[in-house]
A and B are shown apart, each in its own frame.
Chain A
Amino acid sequence: MKLALIDHFAHTGDSVLHRLPTGSKLIASGLLLVAVLSIDHILPSLLLYAGLLVLARASRSPVRVLFLTSLYPTLFVLLMVLGGGLSLTSTGVLLLSRALSSTLVAVLLVATTPYPELVAVGGRWFPPLLRQSLLLCYRALFLMLSLLDDIRTALRLRGRRNLLTAMALFVVRGFDLAEEQYSVMRLRGVDGGAMAYNPRQCGSAWMGWSAVALATLVLVGTSLLDTLWYGEIG
Chain B
Amino acid sequence: MIELREVTLGYGEQVLLRVDELTLPRGRITAVIGRNGCGKSTLLRALVGVLPYGGSIRLDGDELRSLSHRERARRVAYLPQTLSTPAMSVHTLVGHGRFARLGPLQSLSRADRSAIQQAMELTDVWELRHALVRDLSGGERQRAYLAMAIAQDTPMLLLDEPGAHLDVSHRLEAARIMRQLANEGRGVVVTSHDLPEAFSGCDDICIVNHETIVAQGAVDSIAADETLLRDAMGVCVRRVEGEDLVHPYSLSY
**Is this pair of chains taken from one and the same complex?**
no
Residues of A within 8 A of B (CB): none
